[in-house]
Structure 1
Amino acid sequence: MAPPPRHLLLLPVLLLLVSLLQRVQSGALRVLGPRDFDPKLYVDLPLAPGADRAAAEAAVAAVTTRGEMEAFLARYFARAGSDLVEADPPDFEAEPRGFLPRVASGEARAWALQVHALWKDLARRVAPSVAARPDRHTLLPLPGRVVVPGSRFREVYYWDSYWVVRGLLVSKMYDTAKDIVLNLVYLVEEYGFVLNGARSYYTNRSQPPLLSSMVLELYAATGDLGLVRRAFPSLLKEHSFWVSELHNVEIMDNHGRVHNLSRYQAMWNKPRPESATIDEELASKLNSTAAKEKLYHQIASAAESGWDFSSRWMSNSTDMTTLVTTFVIPVDLNTFICKMERDIAVFAELIGEKATAEIFSQASKARHTAIESLLWNSEMEQWLDYWLPTDGNCQGVYKWELKSQNRKIFASNFIPLWLNAHNSGLGPFLDEAKSVRVMRSLQTSGLVCPAGIATSVSNTGQQWDFPNGWAPLQHLIAEGLLNSGSTEAKEFAEDIATRWVRTNYAAYKSSGAMHEKYDVEACGKSGGGGEYKPQTGFGWSNGVLLAFLEELGWSQDKEIGCPS
């Protein structure tokens, strides 16, 4: 048997630095106060050259003033992000040949080229010092170039990378896109799954699984069968992670058939290091250690979903302590795994693994049946998250009950439409008539707003709720509608994309930046809410914008700004 990867053996040592940095984070909050305080900044700090971790441990306890904190940080730590170095992508061209051929508008094209140029600003390499001395960094070493989301997000993130790859393919930056995919493959090889992000403090959870989709997109663009062969073992390993006992739940339908679906569940019951002071403050409302650990587990599991945070995971939408993430069977997660299973079947055929292809084709069909049997609601014409009883421990077989479907409306209720766009040659998942019914349900859901699709219809102050719209959700839904076979659905998808492109453009013109999220109530307004300040950059927003422009184009006479 092969020995464990070096970084798994090193993990306890790596987490010693995380523990120190959490103490620094707490001390900084105490000394500097909450104004403009970002807890993530402190756990991203690398030890300065020559600084001793044990000495820093001893010194931090004595810090009592702002000046002492500034001197302490300057002595013991380097700047956050300094262990990433800028890396001009060699495959970047100011105007690539064949870039956005359907964009005829000069104004839209000029802006698209500015967004394309942002890849240079977001491209990095992990400094060699990280691999040489991993115990001095929370950043993890990666073999290839990276594209970070931007601002406070100084490292690679898992599901963000899918839309970064989609944008890079529009920009004809195939080598950079391949580097991103191989970095994620490397994480699977080292840790057994793709981490939430490339930091030691993210080794306790993943994010929505889209690695197979990245491989498929890159293969479709380049025909690189070598990449498929290289990634294939890691895709099998990742699939095993998502169908393991940790994530799998068995539910019996009303006909006595037992189905398997997956849920989010982080391997963590402590404050998230990157937000420890926030989590500790929230948990202070609870009385017992056991209750706090349960809350921390639910918080980390919600972070694994990518929807951190949303009323979608709360039994009381006004109270974060009521998070029950691990008791929710999510529509979107199971859509992504269904797609993963179908992708693996396609890859297995390509490399001559016919028996494996059949196994995964059947697995995908079984999961699709489970989604339709347990999550589909024919009255609402939507797929709904299913809530397990929270007084159980998610073991054994659960009996399906209609009342356990969450009838609240979220954009995730429409994510299975995306399967229309990725039949992979194995036949459709949804027929045209059903797609149209789902589209009409979306049109009357309250989610469709002047500047795009809202995340939910509930304004809770959480960033994954109303009125925020997020690039991935616009793209998943619109791409599904575009490929449904219905002219009516295609026109609606184009309308969604147009609203989104216009709000991105207006916000860019007023701020000079692409934003992480947008307020869909008004064209040109960035989003807000949540536990950190709105961020710019921004990887997945750039990717979705370029993908929409490539697929739909922009005519010369079509207004690019907000409609008057």
Structure 2
Amino acid sequence: MKFKLHIRQTLEKLLAQEDTDGDKKITVDDKGPKCFLLENETGNSVAIEGTYHLSNLLQELALSKKENTDFAEINLDHIIENPVDRISRKIKDLYWNGLTRTIDADGIRKILEDDKIENTISYLYVPFGDEMVFDYFKKLETTNSKLKVEQLPKNISPEYVLSLNEKPGILALALQIKDNEISGVPFVVPGGRFNEMYGWDSYFIAKGLLIDNKTELALGIAENFKYQIDHYGKILNANRSYYLTRTQPPLYTSLIRDVLEKSNSEIFWIERHLKTAIKEYQTVWMEEGKRLTANGLNRYKAEGIGLPFEVEEGHFDDILEQFAPKHNLSTREFEKKYLRREINEPELDKYFTHDRSMRESGHDTTNRLVAICANLNTVAINSLLYKYETDIAYLIENYFKKEFQYDEHISYSSNYWSSKANSRKEKVNQLCWNAENGIYLDYNFVTEQQHFFDAATTFYPLWAKISTPEQAEILVKNTLPKFKMKGGIAGSTKEAIANLGKNSPVRQWDYPFGWAPHQMLLWEGLLNYNFNDEVQEMVYRWLWLITRNAVDYNGTIPEKFDLEISSHKIFAEYGNVGTEFNYITEEGFGWMNASYQYGLTILREDLKQKLSDLVDPDELFLNN
């Protein structure tokens, strides 16, 4: 049923009555009557009742208002739509579009309008050697007085990257030629202040895109991964100048395989991406002394100098204040001199090596990795690289008749990669598996001891298929309950935080916070080992939390949740992206969107109905 309304007047009247806290949303926190009489131009009326239906009305009015017409038809079916269908439909039809970007003549403005950089000039950096891209953007520069295009040198040192902090900017991504027109290869950003292409976010986003049949966007992410490896030497933390020395968790081969499941990619496409994935594996991860350690396992080890540029002023004051008095300087003055390398502090350099490495891991930040990350063979990175090795073996065996010509001199067999994977699996289970506690722990290769901190990364070996059936049974039956909360698994156990002491800082990747990547990797791991009842429960818990939050808070889809209070209202470092908008979110949040769509592909139909009814998971899974 459709209702023709005067959009602006209805919107203003609705807000005046129901938005009692003035935040341009209708939520459970508002104290209005929660009943609004909707009247059309012919005098017919219908009552809209309850927070959820009223917030849906607000959202639909806001979308219609963008059309700049006085009158428009509102579909009442969308107002009373069940929440699961509505969230999934909005993700597919609205949010992915809102998060899609290109770096080209049409898309550059949206990329450059960003609150991270306060310069009057917006810098765009183009990699050395890509003359087509450089010529394209230099021509674009002549049409935009605020745009400055510069080409990077062939060899990029940490000192050079530090110098770019005086004029930070965006890094160019891949261009394509279609119908004799040059355009940017599209990618999808996480959302909110994250208005660029992020490394591991992009993989989880791509899973959601493939589910929603937006294959071209997923292919665009793969092309931009390839471009970054070929031109910047790695898949970047994000395509900004200050991330040139930092990569992120490697998920490129997983993306290649996911794409192949959803598309009929030609063998040429597989060949060029497989070559680039092998190149990344060898040059980013397997150079001894960098991210490869003497025991054959890997670590995160970002390069760079000084403080990570992306953090706000004052974030590291507790660390800097330990060194400033020694030089008779204020904290701010010491910071400036340290960044200019006028002061030499090796211990501080070491601290920031660990800090940047922690950020490279994607877990920024966690007490598990602070001041120690570069000394750890983490469970996470070695699970991911085991998956690389098994993926490469699979692709060679199934698409290249067990032998792949990498270049004119080197040919790889699938057995070669399977052997590498088996060796890594053996080492992970030898060094990282703690049989006494039934958990995988990071291994400190400096002290040659396990690093005791119970983290959600213990479930990565289920996803990568490193665990034996016996280990999987222990992880699921004994360890998972320690992480499980009403709305999913937390980043660590409560006990891990308690063991740190009362004064330890609250960090967003630890207890009690819940993140989409941890849930998605856990679900896939449970499916790998046929824990079918457990995966239904864990999917339901997470989707219930997203749905409950969206119903109560005007469709909000946040970056993360506080699982202790089952809420997006987070008072920890960096706040919570995806929660600030007027009337309607048109983006959601990238990997949260993807987790919802992925979860729905797993969840049984009877549980989907209970999800629409918002049945409390603790009541539903009382005996679990």
TM-score, scaled relative to structure 2 = 0.64
Deviation at 1:381, TM superposition (A): 1.6
2:502 corresponding residue in structure 1: none
1:71-95 residue CA offsets vs partner (Å, 9 max, x unmatched): xxxxxxxxxxxxxxxxxxxxxxxxx
SS at match of 1:139: strand
- Cα 1:271–1:125 change in 2 (3 A) is same
1:42-73 residue CA offsets vs partner (Å, 9 max, x unmatched): xxxxxxxxxxxxxxxxxxxxxxxxxxxxxxxx
2:463 corresponds to 1:418: yes
SS at match of 1:134: strand
1:301 corresponding residue in structure 2: 357
SS at match of 2:532: helix
1:234-270 residue CA offsets vs partner (Å, 9 max, x unmatched): 101110111212111123xxxxxxxx10001111131
- Rounded Cα–Cα distance in structure 2 between residues aligned with 1:301 and 1:107: 40
Deviation at 1:291, TM superposition (A): 2.3
- Rounded Cα–Cα distance in structure 1 between residues aligned with 2:304 and 2:575: 22
- Rounded Cα–Cα distance in structure 2 between residues aligned with 1:127 and 1:507: 36
2:380–2:460 CA contact under 8 A, matched in 1: yes
Deviation at 1:297, TM superposition (A): 1.5
1:54 corresponding residue in structure 2: none
2:477 corresponding residue in structure 1: 440
1:494 to 536, 542, 548: 536
Deviation at 1:137, TM superposition (A): 6.5
Deviation at 1:528, TM superposition (A): 4.3
Moved more, 214-223 or 170-179: 214-223
SS at match of 2:102: strand
SS at match of 2:294: strand
SS at match of 2:452: coil
1:134 corresponding residue in structure 2: 149
SS at match of 1:405: strand
1:379 to 433, 436, 457: 436
2:400 corresponds to 1:351: yes
1:463–1:528 CA contact under 8 A, matched in 2: no
- Rounded Cα–Cα distance in structure 1 between residues aligned with 2:353 and 2:316: 13
Letter in 2 for 1:516: E
2:369 to 299, 302, 313: 313
- Cα 1:510–1:280 change in 2 (3 A) is same
2:570–2:576 CA contact under 8 A, matched in 1: no
2:84 to 91, 103, 108: 108
Once the two structures are superposed, the pairs formed by residues 386-401 of structure 1 within 5 Å of their partners are 386-389=443-446, 400=448
- Rounded Cα–Cα distance in structure 2 between residues aligned with 1:361 and 1:167: 29
Q: Calculate the aligned-residue CA RMSD, in Å.
A: 2.1
1:123 corresponding residue in structure 2: 100
Deviation at 1:223, TM superposition (A): 3.2
1:278-297 residue CA offsets vs partner (Å, 9 max, x unmatched): 45534422326222222221
1:463-499 residue CA offsets vs partner (Å, 9 max, x unmatched): 01111010000111121112203xxx22112111101
TM-score, scaled relative to structure 1 = 0.71
- Rounded Cα–Cα distance in structure 1 between residues aligned with 2:103 and 2:307: 27
1:357-408 residue CA offsets vs partner (Å, 9 max, x unmatched): 2221111111111111111111112111112337xxxxxxxxx4xxx11232
Once the two structures are superposed, the pairs formed by residues 256-295 of structure 1 within 5 Å of their partners are 260-275=296-311, 277-278=313-314, 281-287=317-323, 289-295=345-351
Deviation at 1:546, TM superposition (A): 0.5
Letter in 2 for 1:112: S
1:345–1:358 CA contact under 8 A, matched in 2: yes
Letter in 2 for 1:221: K
1:549 to 600, 611, 615: 600
2:286 corresponding residue in structure 1: 243
1:559 corresponding residue in structure 2: 611
Aligned residues: 420
Please identify which structure carries the higher helix content. 1
- Cα 1:527–1:361 change in 2 (3 A) is farther
1:508–1:514 CA contact under 8 A, matched in 2: yes
1:195 corresponding residue in structure 2: 236
- Rounded Cα–Cα distance in structure 1 between residues aligned with 2:569 and 2:381: 27
- Rounded Cα–Cα distance in structure 2 between residues aligned with 1:202 and 1:242: 17
1:468 corresponding residue in structure 2: 513
- Rounded Cα–Cα distance in structure 2 between residues aligned with 1:267 and 1:339: 24
- Cα 1:203–1:171 change in 2 (3 A) is same
1:450 to 486, 489, 493: 486
Please identify which structure carries the higher strand content. 2
Letter in 2 for 1:454: A
2:426 corresponding residue in structure 1: 369
Moved more, 177-186 or 516-525: 516-525
Structure 1's unaligned 5+ residue stretches are 1-104, 252-259, 315-322, 391-399, 421-428
2:221 corresponds to 1:180: yes
2:377 corresponding residue in structure 1: 329
Letter in 2 for 1:249: T
- Cα 1:106–1:535 change in 2 (3 A) is closer
